[in-house]
C-alpha cells in the first residue's frame, strides 16, 4: 500500500539543503588506566550540545580490525558545511578526540537523485539507525554523463531492481562534487553485516558498474555508544 504523503515528503526533503560528513580517526594514544568513563561522558555532552544546534551525530562506529589504519568513524549531518567543521574541531578538542589522528574525512550534500526523485537517503528520511554501516565514495566514468539519458536511466533502473531483494539494507547516496576527491558518497546501513556483503556482491553484476572508475576506500563498522567505544579500545 502506498503512503499518501510519500510524494510530498520526497518533494520537501529534496528541497532541503543538508550536508553530511563521515570522519575517520585512528587512536594514537591508548586510554590505558585513564578515566575512560569521563572521556565518554565529555563526548556525549558535546553530542547533546551539537543536537541543540541541529548538528546530528547519526552514529559513532567501531572500525577497528576492519581496517588496520583506523578505529573510529563518526557520521554526522547539519544544515551547513560550516556547522560540520565546527563539530569536527569540537570533537578534536575533547580528551578522547585529542587522542585521535585524522585518517579520512569526506563531506557530501543531499541533492535529488539523478532520475528517481523519490529515492531519498535514509538519514534524510530520519529512518532508524541500523547496527552496521558501510561507507565508500565513487566516481563515474568520463563517458557516463555524456550517455543518452534513457540509457543511463535504464542502467540505474536495473541497478535498483537488483537491490530489491535487500529491503533491510538502507541506502544513503549523496553528492560530493567539489567537496573532495569524489562525485558521490554512499552509505549502506543494515542490522546484519552479511546483508550488506551480499548486496554489494549482487550489485557487481550491474551494467552501471562499467561506469565506475573509483570506489575506494571502504570503511565499515558497528555502531557503538561512546562508553562501549572507550571500554573497547586499548
Which domain does 100 fall in, by range? Answer: 13-109
pLDDT digits (tens, 9 = 90+) for 182-196: 999 999 999 999 999
Burial (CB count <10 Å: 0-12, 13-18, 19+), residue 178: exposed
User: Which residues define the annotated binding site for Fe-coproporphyrin III?
Assistant: 159
User: What is the reported pLDDT for 115?
Assistant: 77
Q: Is residue 175 part of a domain?
A: yes
Last residue of a domain, one of 56, 78, 109: 109
Q: What is the pLDDT of residue 60?
A: 99
Q: Is residue 100 part of a domain?
A: yes
DSSP string of 54-121?
T-EEEEEEE-BTTBSS-SEEEEEEESSHHHHHHHHHHHHTSTTGGGEEEEEEEEEE----SS-TT---
Among the three residues 81, 109, 137, which one is the final residue of a domain in this structure? 109
Tell me if residue 136 is catalytic. Answer: yes
| Whole-angstrom distance, CA of residue 139 vs CA of residue 182 | 6
What confidence tens digit (pLDDT) does each residue in 100-111 have? Answer: 999 999 999 999
The total domain count for the chain is: 2
**pLDDT at 217 exceeding the cut of 70:** yes
Question: If you average pLDDT over residues 122-146, what whole number do you get?
Answer: 97
Asked whether residue 38 is assigned to any structural domain, the reply reads yes
Q: Which residues are annotated as a binding site?
A: 159
Residues 132 and 66 in one domain: no
| Cα torsion through 207, 212, 213, 215, rounded to 10 | -130
| CA–CA distance, 159 with 209 (Å, rounded to integer) | 9
Q: Which of 136, 166, 182, 219 is catalytic?
A: 136
Closest CA to 141 of 130, 127, 129, 151: 151
Based on the domain organization, do 105 and 154 belong to the same domain? no
Query: Within this chain, do residues 154 and 68 fall inside the same structural domain, yes or no?
Result: no
Residue 196, in any domain of the structure: yes
The whole-model pTM stands at 0.94
CATH number of 25's domain: 3.30.70.1030
Residue 147 and residue 203 in one domain: yes
Within a domain: 82: yes
Amino acid at each position: 500500500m502506498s503512503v499518501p504523503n510519500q510524494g510530498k515528503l520526497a518533494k520537501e526533503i529534496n528541497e532541503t539543503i543538508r550536508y553530511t560528513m563521515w570522519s575517520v580517526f585512528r587512536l594514537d594514544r591508548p586510554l590505558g588506566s585513564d578515566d575512560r568513563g569521563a572521556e565518554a561522558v565529555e563526548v556525549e555532552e558535546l553530542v547533546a550540545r551539537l543536537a541543540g544546534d541541529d548538528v546530528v551525530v547519526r552514529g559513532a562506529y567501531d572500525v577497528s580490525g576492519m581496517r588496520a589504519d583506523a578505529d573510529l568513524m563518526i557520521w554526522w549531518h547539519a544544515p551547513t558545511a560550516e556547522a560540520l567543521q565546527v563539530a569536527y574541531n569540537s570533537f578534536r578538542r575533547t580528551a578522547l578526540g585529542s587522542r585521535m589522528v585524522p585518517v579520512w574525512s569526506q563531506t557530501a550534500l543531499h541533492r535529488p537523485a539523478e532520475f528517481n526523485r523519490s529515492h531519498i537517503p535514509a538519514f534524510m528520511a530520519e529512518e532508524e539507525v541500523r547496527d552496521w554501516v558501510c561507507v565508500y565514495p565513487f566516481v563515474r566514468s568520463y563517458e557516463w554523463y555524456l550517455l543518452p539519458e534513457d540509457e543511463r536511466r535504464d542502467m540505474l533502473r536495473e541497478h535498483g531492481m537488483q537491490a530489491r531483494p535487500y529491503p533491510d539494507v538502507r541506502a544513503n547516496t549523496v553528492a560530493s562534487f567539489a567537496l573532495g576527491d569524489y562525485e558521490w558518497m554512499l552509505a549502506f546501513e543494515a542490522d546484519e553485516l552479511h546483508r550488506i556483503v551480499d548486496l554489494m556482491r549482487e550489485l557487481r553484476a550491474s551494467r552501471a558498474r562499467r561506469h565506475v572508475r573509483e570506489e575506494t576506500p571502504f570503511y565499515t563498522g558497528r555502531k557503538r555508544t561512546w562508553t562501549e567505544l572507550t571500554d573497547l579500545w586499548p
